[in-house]
Amino acid sequence: MTSTSKAVIYLETSSYLPLVWRTPYSQPVIDTMTEYADHQFVLQRDCVLEAKGYLSFGDDDWRYHPAVRIRNILKRTTDSELREFGYPSAAIQLLLGGNIWPQAQYLNFVRHTVFFFADLLDGISFAHPREGLSEFADRIERRVIHFRQLFQDHAAAESVILPTEDILPYWGKWYLPSIPRRFTVRIIPDPRPFNMTTDKLRDIYHYECAVSSRPAPKLMLVANTGFERNVKTSFATLPCPIVCPKARTGDLFS
């Protein structure tokens, strides 16, 4: 059977990202993909662009970029004042310490920021706080640059192989202690651009694109318990089944 004749499994942003960084869904997504290993996995380009949006902040925007916050604190604080801070708790506080906004979307971004950068603290000595915080800021900046390029490369590629050995710890390595296998994911063009005005939700847009694609997908694999609920606000019936595997959080901690 050729790759073009294989039945198609449609991925989405929420099932793509657990292959890039570890989340409670990483192992369940990989297990589901293993179950359908003889199928062709596809991901539309907009899903990569949506993921890239996590890093769309400006290089000098202190509200979103923790390296900017750290460097500004270093400019405004003396060495004796820095020594009064606790370490590494001060570094974690600076990860969290963006703007004080009550919006859920921003608070979710703050949570993402801590997961995304926390492992960069590993191995940093704070015996000399200024040097330690400077090193932390430099590591953060390098990671931002790296992942902006990674998402750009994925968006421009015809296919990607995921996950890789350098998958981020993110929620914790315990969610995916090892890489059991890798999968080729074909990146397909968007049938039409996402319209922030007329498209109600990105979830609905992605589902609509999946339903209209040819060959029609056997199912859509997501890692978002609210995805199907969102889609049903526009689709009375689901012509393409939506599969969302169970996250591992309860299995590990309950």
Q: What is the pLDDT of residue 102?
A: 63
CA 147 from centre of chain: 10
Section 165-169 average pLDDT: 95
Q: What is the pLDDT of residue 56?
A: 94
Section 148-177 average pLDDT: 97
pLDDT surpasses 50 at 3: no
Q: What is the pLDDT of residue 83?
A: 97
Q: What is the pLDDT of residue 198?
A: 87
- Asked if residues 2 and 38 have their Cβ atoms less than 8 Å apart, the reply is no
pLDDT surpasses 50 at 1: no
Start-end of H helices in the chain:
13-16, 26-35, 45-52, 66-76, 79-83, 89-96, 104-117, 129-156, 202-212, 227-231, 249-253
CA-to-CA dists, residue 237 to 9, 21, 183, 211, 234, angstroms: 19, 32, 30, 12, 9
Backbone φ and ψ for 95, nearest 5 degrees, come out as -65, -40
Q: How far apart are CA 150 and CA 116, in angstroms?
A: 15
Say which residue, 107 or 55, is predicted with more confidence. Answer: 55
Section 185-193 average pLDDT: 96
Give the residue among 225, 224, 108, 248 at the shortest CA–CA distance from 172.
248
Beta carbons within 10 angstroms of residue 115's beta carbon: 17
Question: For the chain, what is the mean pLDDT?
Answer: 94
For the sheet with 40-44, list strands across it. Answer: 159-162, 183-188, 40-44, 8-10, 219-221, 242-243
- Using CA atoms of 228, 233, 239, 240 in order, give the dihedral in degrees to the nearest 10: -30
72-129 pLDDT per residue, tens: 999 999 999 999 999 999 999 999 987 776 666 778 888 999 999 999 999 999 999 9
pTM value > 0.75: yes
128-160 pLDDT per residue, tens: 999 999 999 999 999 999 999 999 999 999 999
pLDDT band at 2 (very low <50, low <70, confident <90, very high): very low
Start-to-end CA distance of the chain, whole Å, equals: 44
- 202-212 and 45-52 helices cross at what angle (nearest 10)? 160
- In angstroms, what is the C-alpha Rg of the chain? 20
